[in-house]
Amino acid sequence: MSKGHANNGDVVLELKGIQQSFAQAEGRLEVIRRADLTLHRGEMVALIGPSGSGKSTLLHITGMLEKAVAGEIAIAGKTMTALGDDAKTAARRQTMGFVYQHHHLLPEFSALENVIIPQMIAGKSRKEATPRAVDLLTRVGLGKRLDHRPGKLSGGEQQRVAIARALANDPKILLADEPTGNLDHHTSEEVFGMLRHLVHDFGVAALIATHNLEIAQRMDRIVTLRDGELVAA
């Protein structure tokens, strides 16, 4: 999706009035005072802000891995806030994919198995899961490395497997925390280019925290966490 073309039917995710604070010896640390965000289908949004501004915290809250002290999350118009933990886990598994700075691949399993396993956890048989895993790994340029274990792949290749894995269950939402943070400039460019293609091809809504402003500027939109507020950049 290009800038400004979204309509309400395309809304995949909404954050409304999110606040987060943590108890500390000297009182509460207010990390997020107000975050409102609407993500649309096929849209790639960069989340930037200084170190410690709350980017990872906001991604954890969005992924329902951490509970905010206030605010609402809605996925495709359905409010998640009141759901119990099991329902949140099910919603997360059905709708979200995650990419982190470190790949977190299973070291004892091949690239192919790393993309098959999340689909099996979601209920597919190995046979049903294999074609999508092969397709995703081929799309990220690893069609000839299916049987390699993570330790035999370069950092960029490992991150490409992590991207394929994040998309394994056909998520509506992709959350990424510094996906190119461990990579050199050239590899970052390559991995980001691949990620951008996939987000647009699959119509995923992506929220991507990054310190890399060059990469942020190539996304559809930038939002910044500044003094606890999420603002358009």
Given the DSSP bridges, would you call strands 11-24 and 27-40 parallel, antiparallel or unpaired? Answer: antiparallel
Strand-pairing partners, residue 207, are: 45, 175
With respect to ligand ATP, which residue has the nearer C-beta, 17 or 52?
Answer: 52
Q: Which is nearer to ligand ATP, 98 or 202 (CB)?
A: 98
Size of the site for ligand ATP (CB under 6 A): 11
21, HSE (Cβ side, Cα atoms, 13 Å):
13
Cβ 49 to ligand ATP shortest distance, Å: 5
Residue 219 phi/psi, 5-degree rounding, is: -90, 175
Q: How far apart, in whole angstroms, are the C-alpha atoms of residue 192 and residue 182?
A: 12
CB closer to ligand ATP out of 29 and 106: 29
Report the alpha-carbon distance of residue 211 to residue 232 in Å, rounded. Answer: 16
> Is the distance from CB of 158 to CB of 150 less than 8 angstroms?
yes
CB 67 within 8 A of CB 45: no
Closer to ligand ATP by Cβ: residue 60 or 92:
60
The separation between CA 46 and the C-alpha centre of its own chain, rounded to angstroms, equals: 11
Least separation in angstroms between residue 64's CB and ligand ATP is: 15
Question: Under 8 Å CB-to-CB from 156, ≥6 apart: which residues?
Answer: 183, 187, 190, 191
Q: Does 179 bind ligand ATP (CB under 6 A)?
A: no
Which is closer to ligand ATP, CB of 11 or CB of 230? 230
Q: Does 210 bind ligand ATP (CB under 6 A)?
A: no
Q: Shortest approach of ligand ATP to residue 55 CB, angstroms?
A: 4
Written as one letter, the residue type at 143 is G
Indicate the helix (H) or strand (E) that contains 163: helix 155-166
Q: Report in angstroms how near the CB of residue 59 gets to ligand ATP at its nearest.
A: 8
CB of 169 to ligand ATP, least distance (A): 25
> Which lies closer to ligand ATP via its Cβ, residue 54 or residue 156?
54
To the nearest whole angstrom, how small is the minimum distance from the Cβ of residue 159 to ligand ATP? 17
**Binding mask of the shown chain, residues 24 to 63, with x at each position contacting ligand ATP by CB under 6 A:** -----x-x-----------------x-xxxxxxx------
Site of interaction with ligand ATP (CB under 6 A): 22, 29, 31, 49, 51-57
